Amino acid sequence: MDNESNFATESFASVAKQVKERRGLKTSGFAGSEQYLQKVRDFEKEQAAATQQINLSIARGEDLDRLALLDPITDLCNHRTFVKELKAEMSRARRYQQNIALCLISIDHFAELAQQYGVLTSEAVLKIVGNVIRNSIREIDISGRYDGHQFIIALSRTGISGGAIVAERIRQRIAAQGITHNWQSFSLTASFGVATYPEQATEYDELIARALEVMEYANTRGGDRVLAV
């Protein structure tokens, strides 16, 4: 269902035909275009290279646990830690025949926000969104900062409907945040893409790619919405 008020949780099936025509998507299995899967894999290589810099920082005596496991701004899992935990969670889900809902989140218009308000405010925004995510999920779920202004969540034992409900809750809570900078107030919105294991993908990078593609499509439809496969 497509609600043009921009406060909508949409079913991917409602726009599957248009998407398929435009991007060659299917509706089951890993159905994203190969460019998204390659994008995920290239980014993972970049993060592996960045790990070398982390090791240099550790050698200089900086906080081992923080640098190795957590994103320094949000205190959520960093990319490396999240992928490791996601692989382990998918292994458990495979063994017990359970679902995982993966949600990718992008803060809308973040580049413009950073340009207008500066680094300190944009980092404060990332912290606020990180806190919203942390307070909106269960202890058994995994959350991380994926890249820049993008966040990622793995919801254990959760299907597509449950994943969309959690994403919509987070969307509403992000939109409710009031932020003040130099006596000017502004609000935030975010775009969400939700995909599930094993329905949409059986490998971790394919699952991320699927959610990434759906999230970007949500953004092109105006942002401030949840799009679930």
Which domain CATH number covers 46? 3.30.70.270
Domain count for the chain, please give it. 1
3-state secondary structure of 191: strand
Distance CA 52, CA 57 (A): 9
Rounded to whole angstroms, the maximal C-alpha distance in the chain is 54
**What is the dihedral sign for C-alpha 26, 38, 146, 109?**
negative
The backbone torsions φ and ψ at residue 187, rounded to the nearest 5 degrees and listed phi first, read: -120, 170
Secondary structure element (H or E) that encloses residue 156, with its range: strand 150-156
Task: Enter the pTM of the model.
Answer: 0.82
Mind listing the pLDDT tens digit for each residue in 202-226?
999 999 999 999 999 999 999 999 9
Determine, yes or no, domain membership for 13. Answer: yes
pLDDT band at 34 (very low <50, low <70, confident <90, very high): confident
Determine, yes or no, domain membership for 3. Answer: no
CB-CB contact of 99 with 164 (8 Å): no
Mind listing the pLDDT tens digit for each residue in 43-76?
788 876 665 455 445 445 556 556 678 999 999 9
- What is the pLDDT at residue 140? 96
Residues near 135 by Cβ (< 8 Å), separated by ≥ 6? Answer: 173
Provide the residue range defining the domain that includes 137. 8-228
pLDDT at 197 over 50: yes
Cβ atoms < 10 Å from Cβ of 103: 29
